[in-house]
Structure 1
Amino acid sequence: MMGLALLVSAHASADPDSYNVGVYYFPGWSPGAGKGNSDPWSPIKRFPERKPLLGWYDDSNQKVIAKQLEWMKDYGINFVTFDWYWEGGSKPVAGAPISNYLHARDNHGIKFNILWANHAVFPRSLEEFDVMVDYWISNYFSSPNYLKIDDRPVVMVFSATELERSAQILHIDSALLLQMASRRAIERGLRGIYFVASTLPEKGRISNALPKAGYDALTAYNYHAGIHGMQYGRRLSHSYSELTGAYAENWNYIIEESELPYLVPVTAGWDKAPWGGSEDPAHDNSEGSSEEFRQHLLEARDVMTKNPERTKRTVIICCWNEFGEGSFIEPTKARGFSYLGAVRDVFGNK
């Protein structure tokens, strides 16, 4: 097998116009979003250096997504992946940002897709699962701006492990559940659904279980440790350099051990202090500077350059606006556009 060190170098040349750059978007910044907090920003206000350039905004305001899409376009982001929550009924929870995207006068050519946050609340029956999939097809997949790979709409699954557990409760395995969803899409004139599993670098799962479960590709929302740290007591990172080193370990391991395509995840950092802190308090030291972030992106770019077919030359950034977890590239009063500048500098998208 290829040595780990051979895959990562920060100095590879690359075609500046050939990368697909995405970013996760957390839809939790409007009154009542998620847990019903009348002011979701209240925990973040204790950390004024995190104040967005747009202020303590309401993400249900159409003007917010309009400005964010403009910035994404200006700094080379091609698609936005909305965290997506379903809690039964007939529509998603915290769905205002994606609705505002769909009604934007100008989306600046930014594609969109969903990350199904299936770790929150899962459909309580197969009938409700069908209702949820039909909602995807009718409200999202029908848009010409929906992100597709291999001509199929892309749905990322936050936790493949949780999907397996939930499917068992419904007396079905996850492979059949994904097949059901794809069949409904085919019946509506699509070519199926391109399912992407968010997963840790666990050998048996990435090389065997997830391909058999019907996933088309792998990725992650975020990592907190590298493959070696997970094997020896799950030691979480205590600095940004440790965190990005863990990412590099995981990139290399997954590319070597799994035949599925791998959409390369990257991180702006980790510090969960506003939301109560991490189980290991030192893990919250894992934020980095914009220059360190730039170096991390260079390493990811090199992995994609060396593995173009395996990675689809696609990178996805965590995150646009996870202010409670210290993982954000959205412009703030303290940072300005420095993190977005790193994205444009590395990937060169115009």
Structure 2
Amino acid sequence: MLNSEQVRFLNVKWLCLAVLLVLVSLVTFQRSAKAAGPYEVGAFYFDNWNPQLNPSAISNYKKIYGSSANQWSGVTDMLTVPGLWGFGPLPNREPLQGWYDDRNQSVVDQQILQAASRGLDHFAFYYYWSEAGGGERPGQQSIYNFINSPYKDLMKFYMYFIADGQWPASDWNTYMVPKLVSMMQDPSYKKTPDGRPIVGFYGNFAARLGGATQWQTALQSLRTAAQNAGLPNPLLLDAAYRNLQPSITAGMDGFLPLNLAGIGLDSHQYVPEDYATSYPPAWNDFVYATYPPGSGYENYENYLLIPGGISGYDPRPWGKGTIITSTPTPAR
């Protein structure tokens, strides 16, 4: 078994298409757009690379690509080979582990080694509840494979709960809160420097629980249950952006907005741009944006913000006609 020191020297290129990168710094932004202290880098773990988690997607793939379609269809049919829409061939879209099934223990073990060897501190696992209620959605073995991995001491993890499906509101206190608290109790669960376990939320939970007041009550019940279990008050993060007040009213501690990987890269059409020169001013503008009165929008200046960005497969990721350079350099 490799230890932490040995893994640091693994010469493994970091490419895991099941994982979506997010830059994490548990500090508020300053006017200089620099973190006010040490920061950590983690990755969203999009646990959808198996045929079980999203059967409706597999059904649609089979209609488009044929009976042999699987969770990688679209990538294998339209990107790594010449496809109907002219995107391929882009052979480097195949993961280093091949076209894997993320329910397998060996897959997650290798992903931990790859991530840790490149300095990633944690995975934030997307987490889905069963649409019928009563338990989590099948096909999320990757979370438990992380917990059971012999390499789990190399990284941390936390749960990023996705509001998906129409599960019963009663599931929150009966099943969801106990499940989240049990995860927080794992020794590898990600916590803030002062010991608070982190939980993220994406989507409209208020609608599924009966309204804004019920969502506020639900978050408080999660905090209470965690503290009753001997844990510190958890740090709760929402994916909201611009329209922030409903999240603050509900009781969120801060924000982790998604889908922001390309900000600043499409400012000048047909002009090559890169992350090193485009990101700092773009993030500064995003955090301190000024919105017109009555818009309902506000910026992040007075809130905890964890900047994040999602990558994708599209070879034209930020719009037709935009030119982006991304050749790796130390500055980038």
Taking the aligned partners of 1:116 and 1:240, their CA distance within structure 2 comes to 34
Q: Say whether the 8 Å CA contact 1:73–1:110 is kept in structure 2.
A: yes
Task: Select 2:46's aligned residue among 20, 26, 51.
Answer: 26
Q: Which residue of the partner structure matches residue 221 of structure 2?
A: 180
Label 1:177 to 1:142 Cα distance change in 2 as closer, same or farther (>3 A): same
Q: Cα 1:222–1:97, aligned 2, differ >3 Å: closer, same or farther?
A: same
Equivalence map 1:206-285=2 (5 Å): 206=244, 208-223=245-260, 244=279, 246-253=282-289, 257-267=300-310, 269-272=311-314, 282=320
Q: Which residue of 1 aligns with 2:207?
A: 165
Question: What is the identity, as a one-letter code, of the residue corresponding to 2:189?
Answer: Y
- Measured on the aligned residues, the alpha-carbon RMSD in Å equals 3.7
The whole-number CA distance in structure 1 between the counterparts of 2:221 and 2:74 is 41
State how far apart, in whole Å, the 1-side matches of 2:79 and 2:303 are: 40
Matched AA of 2:79: F
1:219-275: CA deviations, max 9, x gaps?
112237869x9xxxxx9x9987598565453244499644221112134x44558xx
> Structure 2 vs 1, CA of residues 220 and 290 (structure 1 numbering), >3 Å: closer, same or farther?
farther
Query: How far apart, CA to CA, are the structure 2 residues paired with 1:266 and 1:224?
Result: 4
Match 1:60 to one of 103, 112, 122: 103
Code of the aligned partner of 1:282: K
User: Displacement, 1:142?
Assistant: 1.6
Matched, 1:43 2:74: yes
Q: Answer whether contact 1:271 1:286 (CA < 8 A) is retained.
A: no
Q: 1:295 to 1:165 in 2, by over 3 A?
A: farther
* TM-score normalised by the chain length of structure 1: 0.64
Higher helix share: 1
Give yes or no for contact 1:70–1:108 (8 Å, CA) kept in 2.
no
* Structure 2 residues without counterparts, runs of 5 or longer: 1-28, 59-68, 81-90, 291-297
Deviations 1:293-321 (A, max 9, x none): x656xxxxxxxxxxxxxxxxxxxxxxxxx
User: For residue 9 of structure 2, what is the aligned residue in structure 1?
Assistant: none
In the alignment of these two chains, the number of paired residues is 266
CA positional deviation for 1:126? 2.8
Counterpart amino acid of residue 136 in structure 2? K
CA gap of 1:253–1:93, structure 2 versus 1, over 3 A, is farther
Deviations 1:56-98 (A, max 9, x none): 0111111111111011111100111111111222233431111
Task: Please name the residue that 1:82 is paired with.
Answer: 125
Task: From the superposition, tell whether residues 75 and 179 of structure 1 become closer, same or farther in structure 2 (CA, over 3 Å).
Answer: same
Do 1:27 and 1:59's aligned partners in 2 also have CA atoms closer than 8 Å? yes
Distance 1:5 1:176, change over 3 A: closer
**Partner-residue secondary structure (3-state), 1:52:** coil
Amino acid at match of 1:125: A
Which of residues 140, 145, 160 is equivalent to 1:100?
145
Give distance in 1, aligned partners of 2:238 and 2:263: 18
Letter in 2 for 1:102: I
Q: Compute the TM-score of the two structures, normalised by the length of structure 2.
A: 0.67
Choose between structure 1 and 2 for higher RCO, CA contacts under 8 A separated by at least 6 residues.
1
Q: Give unpaired runs (5+ residues) of structure 1.
A: 230-234, 297-350
